[in-house]
Chains A and B, each alone.
Chain A
Amino acid sequence: MAQSDIHNPDPGSNSTVLKIGGLTKFFGGLRAVHDFNVEIKKGELVGLIGPNGAGKTTIFNMVTSIYPVSEGDIVFKGQDITDLPAHEVTHLGIGRTFQKIRIFPNLTVLDNVRVAYHPHSRYNMFDGILRSRRFSRGEQEMTEKAQEFLAVFGMEDLQEALASNLPYGAQRRLEIARALATEPDLLLLDEPAAGMNPHEIIELMELIHFIRDRFNLTIFLIEHQMRVVMGICEWITVIDFGEILARGTPKEIQNNPKVIEAYLGTQATRMVA
């Protein structure tokens, strides 16, 4: 399904992809996220920012069903996905990366990507055991698709390497490649620029623009590096202590006193004022 969407983009490109309403999360007595709302339209690049511990990653974890939702609902392409298990959310077309890299360290680079094709695998376990024709064809198809992805990310020469042996930047790119291989419509990027140097950050920003156009994606992104967020996002939502602080275009956010206060503290606010 996701595949066909990539090749035949929906003509009504203003349709809502993700709609979150009243999302709340309690960890015991701690309220990590409170009444979070957002609506993301097809093709948009939306940023989510906030100080450390504001609940950004918790929101991503609820959207991808890694954490159960305490209250509120999440609607993806018109379907309520609040209570679906995580792998079914992925099948519907939400891909994600993690703040702390979570590649499969003991698998090769190629296998890291090929895992993503398993749900679409054209052969079953018994074809694999008996090495049937269907196995060879399915395996070849998966391998070719995975190699194509690796080529897009400039990692085709690394396919035999163990993922844990890659340098940091390559691991980040592998994680994005792997998320794209699940053929998502919506990609959630959790701090993709973390730990990158300025040169790598510029490359990353180009990459994000490139994949959005090439795979016809909607992107929702958490980031701490202001130059990334301000440089590529069309809309930004700011949260602090689990609650929405402000939303708007990068320009509006930059000049919002509440946001400056949350990031720099009150004294700084006074200085700016």
Chain B
Amino acid sequence: MKIRSLPTWLTSTLFFLVVGVGFQIISSQGWLSGYWQQVIMLGTLMAVSALGLNLKYGYAGLFALGHAAFYGIGAYSSALITKDWVVGWSGNPAGGLAGVLAIEVGFILAVVAISYFKIGHLRNLMRDKLSRWLTPFEASVLATVAMLLAGGLIIVVIGGGSGWLVRQGVLALVPPVLGALPLAISQQVIFLIALLAGAVLAGLVGFLVGLPLLRLTYDYLCIATLGFGIITYVFFNNADKLIPTMKGARGMVNIPNLTTWPWVFICAAVALAVMRNFIHSSTGRAILSVRDDPVAAETMGIDAFKFKTLAYALGCAYAGLAGGLYAHLYSFLHPSNFTWLKSVDPFVMVVFGGVGSMTGTILGAYSFELLLEGLRVLPAEFIDWRYVIYPLVLLIVMLFRPQGIMGTKEWGFLKLPKIAKREHGQEEASAGMSKAEAQASEN
């Protein structure tokens, strides 16, 4: 009875502490081999990536197949940063901390500037003015070209300029500051920055890709995002021509081995808490409504496209974060880990666990990794049967439980918070509500 009366935030914090610290103790005592520790960490980071896909596919209803591309963008960009720090400044302006941060800040400022100038609106104004002297077609073409040039100018001047400033600032400030710290600490700091930068870059690229592609739906969107996945794969394969450290098709080696259980676990726990709070808020409800019926959502005053883009970009950022963790787990990156086929993995996890369920997604991620790796205990001559047994399991689950293991159900603190019914004595109801909400806000 006493346990039941504990508030959700406390029980869930306790649960996370027990799991996190428990696994740390188990692995530090040597009760679990290094190999299985890696498998568990891989499962956890794949859960983060799959949560991102669940946001795109399960919550926003976007049937998008380019998830591995964003996973790869996060992996490569964060690896560039940490490798640059440990090995030393590679001398390439596009790579490393200075390069990645410069791209991000430049990108954000350019987008802000372009949206501030409302280029689409300006184009229409210009077209209307021009159509006095020209045919509508000529006016439209001329206005579009002019505004494309203006947009290009903004990107070069504001984006490029601010990027250059950031690069100079990072190069001047960061090495001395981090150099003053002991190596063990500065490595962790740079790892944190690298993870965040990888996630942000993946999210920004997702936003940019989403702008044209998210006007499509269903299979059209699927094929278009697949196209983006292939482009990214080709880019990774040939990236050494642009950024030599990325090594292209030979694979990027000697990435510092910084991913430890506390890192993976804390990232996953924070990612999960953010996702839960996000989806159980007004913004989350707007995203769900767009999934259920975009036309009805528009008539509710919801800008469907904006929320699709938001969900897509955030989902991509989750993939980027997982990619950063992955890069520093095996210290080796190869483009073949980020082909479009790898986009299917998180898909399987989400569908297996339950589309639109965070609990299910996490279960799906662990069962996927543990099943594939666990089947390695088979005798050597049967080891290839893994790829027969695992698809059979998938088939059986889909036949008997097409909604996935969890359906859309959630466990524990991931559940939709209960809302007190409106009482006739309204005073009491609102008092009870504020108490429940106060507990939620402390979480």
Of the candidates B303, B356, B416, B437, the one whose C-beta lies within 8 Å of that of A139 is B437
> B285 contacts A144, CB within 8 Å?
no
In the complex, B238 has a CB within 8 A of chain A: no
Check: B282 CB closer than 8 A to any chain A CB. Answer: yes
**Shortest Cβ distance from A94 into B: residue:** B299
On whether the beta carbons of B301 and A66 are closer than 8 Å, the reply is: no
The residues of A that contact B433 with a CB separation of less than 8 Å are: 140, 143-144
Binds A, one of B38-46, B206-214, B253-261, B288-296: B288-296
Q: In residues 156-189 of chain A, which contact B (Cβ within 8 Å)?
A: 156-157, 159-160, 178-179, 182
Would you call B441 an interface residue if the criterion is a C-beta within 8 Å of the partner chain's C-beta atoms? yes
Would you call the interface of chain A mostly helix, strand, loop, or mixed? helix
How far apart are A189's CB and chain B's nearest CB, in angstroms? 12
Interface residues of A in 81-133 (CB under 8 A from B): 85-87, 90-91, 95-96, 98, 102-108, 110-111, 114-119, 121, 123-125, 127-133
Q: A131 near B441 (CB under 8 angstroms)? A: yes
Contact between B441 and A133 (Cβ–Cβ < 8 Å)?
yes
Which residues in A have their C-beta under 8 angstroms from that of B283?
Answer: 118, 121, 124-125, 128
The reply to whether B301 and A119 contact each other, CB–CB distance below 8 Å, is yes
| Docked complex Cα distance between A96 and B297 (Å) | 11
Establish whether residues B302 and A114, one from each chain, have CB atoms under 8 Å apart when the complex forms.
Answer: no
A234 interface residue, CB < 8 Å from B? no
Number of interface residues of B (CB under 8 A): 42
**Total interface residues in chain A, CB < 8 Å:** 56
- Partner of B288 from the list A107, A121, A178 (CB cut-off 8 Å) is A107
- What separation, in Å, do the CA atoms of A103 and B288 have in the docked complex? 12
B421 at the interface (CB under 8 A from A): yes
Name the residue on B nearest A64 (C-beta): B299
Q: Check B419 against A110 for contact (C-beta < 8 Å).
A: yes
Chain A residue nearest to B278 (CB atoms) is: A129
Nearest-neighbor residue (CB-CB) of A142 within chain B: B282
Q: Are B430 and A135 in contact (CB under 8 A)?
A: no
In this assembly, does A136 line the interface, its C-beta being within 8 Å of a C-beta of chain B? yes
Point out residues on A near B: beta carbons under 8 Å: 64-66, 85-87, 90-91, 95-96, 98, 102-108, 110-111, 114-119, 121, 123-125, 127-133, 135-136, 138-140, 142-144, 147-148, 150-151, 156-157, 159-160, 178-179, 182
Q: Which residues from chain B sit less than 8 Å from chain A, CB to CB?
A: 274, 277-278, 280-286, 288-289, 291-293, 295-304, 310, 356, 408, 416, 418-419, 421-422, 430, 433-434, 437-438, 440-443
